[in-house]
């Protein structure tokens, strides 16, 4: 193992499925040690927050004795989850996670009761979806009133773990503006909790954590943990915000993430407030904003088409006029929750590879349309000369990359780094320790370095064909 040139910091990524821990040299970003431990999600219940803590300590333990030299730590976690604690800091029930949509009826009611989508966008920055924490709290009060009544602290997943590190589980807890902006009760307009929203859903603001300003610590590591006692703990943030830090993003550089679902986002100096609900108007982990849009159908949907056709996922072929709308799980962007997948424009000469390429096209079309809304009016964000940063599992696939290039007409950059959330948390810890902007630290580390691909001519004919098919099928999709 090379001798570290600078102080060591720890970045934690607590996701839905596992906790990953990196020990990083703050001088150059090199990873000195790593660990990982799994989580379990119980269908219909959620996840026990205490298992997140056990996973964190297990993953830290896997990093070995080098952990004893760490000088700062930060936790990034899955957004939106509702963690309810009793007076001693123990979970009242399993946490309701971001992908738990049972609060959709409460979401619909809340949007209507507080003035509609436009009012919500102007008020807090986003039109809340069922993922948002405010809808989950409304569901809990309605369906499990005893659990709501027993709650003495409400936290997000990263807040809970930060509190366990500092010993502020139930009292004096902290969060950051990035993760708080995904709750639906913190306003990007005022930078404060919205007491009107809290009153409407019956949540006492005293149960919420203090929002730590960027660059300030949440506390220090308490004694008795497998980490050095007394080292500073950064505020932490949500996973999307940490991913942006991990890339060292600057305003105007768009990101397209190709995973099971697809996500597009960019750092912006302008406060987003999209009344359509397509763009979530998040704050970032610093002083700016992180407008973000998400589609449900991405790599998993295209892989399903490949399997149905008996083809390898890279066996896409150019040509043909087939259009595939791969809405196999309904869709979030566009807002078609009951939609099913559609195939249109088949001919005798259409090949399976062309149908597969049409599935890629349909998925990328939805992402690029959402990206257009993310970047709308954001200065040089819409500049076609600015590369799209392509991340996620799909970014390693030639067919995905080439489809993004062809349908966007923009250059593409594929960072070599496969993990960005834990490095983003490590950059936040290093920024706190060094008194620097964490994104600038990540840029010095070269986290976004990787192969660049020049722009190709945009395939306007394919874009028009997909848009027309989507418009023609709209009524059918909404009946599905």
pLDDT band, residue 380 (cuts 50/70/90): very low
Cα-Cα-Cα-Cα torsion 271, 216, 203, 94, nearest 10 degrees, comes to: 110
Q: Write down the residue that tokens 């943990």 correspond to.
A: 225
- pLDDT (tens digit per residue) in 333-357: 888 888 899 999 999 999 999 999 9
Catalytic residue chosen out of the listed positions 13, 159, 239, 378: 239
pLDDT of 432: 97
Q: Which pLDDT does position 334 carry in this prediction? A: 87
Average pLDDT over residues 459-473: 95
Burial 270-309 (b: 16+ CB within 10 A, else e): eebbbeebbbbbbbbbbebbbbbbbbbbbbbbbbbbbeee
**φ, ψ for residue 260 (rounded to 5)?**
-55, -45
Model pLDDT for residues 103-137, shown as the tens digit of each residue: 999 999 999 999 999 999 999 999 999 889 999 99
Q: Tell me the average pLDDT across 31-40.
A: 96
Residue 123 CA to residue 440 CA, distance in Å, equals: 31
Per residue in 53-105, pLDDT (tens digit) is 999 999 999 999 999 999 999 999 999 999 999 999 999 999 999 888 899 99
Average pLDDT over the chain, rounded to an integer: 94
Instruction: Give pLDDT, residue 379.
Output: 46
pTM exceeding 0.85: yes
What's the rounded Cα separation, in Å, for the pair 385 and 32?
Answer: 36
DSSP H or E run through 136 = helix 133-143
Helix pair angle (352-375, 398-408), 10° resolution: 60
Beta bridge partner(s), residue 328:
330
Pairing between β-strand 192-193 and β-strand 186-187 as defined by DSSP bridges: antiparallel
Q: Is 361 a catalytic residue?
A: no
């Amino acid at each position: 193992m090379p001798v570290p040139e600078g102080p060591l910091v720890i970045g934690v990524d607590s996701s839905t499925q596992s906790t990953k821990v990196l020990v990083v040299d703050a001088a150059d970003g090199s990873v000195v040690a790593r660990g990982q431990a799994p989580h379990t999600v119980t269908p219909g219940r959620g996840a026990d927050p205490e298992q997140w803590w056990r996973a964190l300590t297990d993953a830290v333990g896997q990093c070995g004795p080098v952990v004893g030299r760490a000088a700062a730590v930060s936790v990034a976690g899955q957004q939106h989850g509702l963690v309810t604690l009793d007076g001693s800091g123990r979970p009242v029930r399993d946490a309701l996670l971001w992908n738990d949509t049972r609060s959709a009826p409460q979401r619909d009611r809340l949007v209507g009761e507080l003035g509609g989508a436009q009012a919500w966008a102007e008020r807090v920055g986003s039109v809340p979806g069922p993922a948002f924490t405010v809808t989950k709290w409304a569901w809990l009060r309605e369906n499990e009133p005893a659990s709501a009544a027993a709650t003495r602290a409400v936290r997000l997943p990263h807040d809970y773990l930060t509190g366990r590190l500092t010993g502020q589980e139930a009292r004096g807890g902290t969060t950051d503006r990035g993760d708080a902006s995904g709750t639906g009760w913190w306003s990007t307009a005022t930078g404060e909790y919205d007491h009107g929203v809290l009153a409407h859903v019956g949540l006492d603001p005293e149960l919420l954590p203090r929002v730590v300003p960027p660059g300030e610590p949440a506390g220090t590591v308490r004694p008795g943990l497998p980490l050095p006692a007394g080292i500073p703990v950064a505020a932490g943030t949500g996973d999307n915000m940490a991913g942006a830090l991990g890339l060292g993003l600057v305003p105007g550089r768009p990101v397209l993430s190709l995973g099971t679902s697809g996500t597009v986002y960019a750092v912006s100096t302008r406060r987003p407030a999209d009344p359509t609900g397509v763009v979530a108007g998040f704050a970032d982990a610093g002083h700016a904003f992180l407008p973000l849009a998400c589609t449900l159908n991405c790599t998993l949907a295209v892989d399903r088409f490949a399997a149905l056709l008996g083809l390898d996922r890279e066996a896409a072929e150019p040509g043909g006029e087939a259009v595939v709308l791969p809405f196999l799980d309904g869709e979030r962007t566009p807002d078609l929750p009951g939609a099913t997948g559609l195939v249109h424009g088949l001919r005798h000469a259409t090949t399976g590879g062309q149908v597969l390429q049409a599935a890629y096209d349909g998925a990328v079309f939805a992402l690029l349309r959402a990206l257009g809304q993310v970047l709308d009016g954001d200065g040089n964000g819409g500049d076609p000369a600015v590369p799209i940063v392509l991340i996620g599992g799909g970014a390693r696939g030639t067919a995905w990359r080439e489809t993004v290039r062809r349908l966007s007409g923009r250059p593409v950059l594929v960072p070599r780094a496969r993990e960005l959330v834990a490095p983003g948390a490590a950059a936040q810890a290093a920024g706190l320790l060094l008194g620097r902007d964490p994104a600038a630290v990540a840029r010095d580390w070269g986290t976004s370095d990787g192969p660049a691909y020049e722009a190709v001519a945009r395939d306007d004919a394919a874009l028009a064909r997909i848009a027309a098919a989507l418009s023609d099928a709209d009524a059918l999709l909404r009946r599905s």
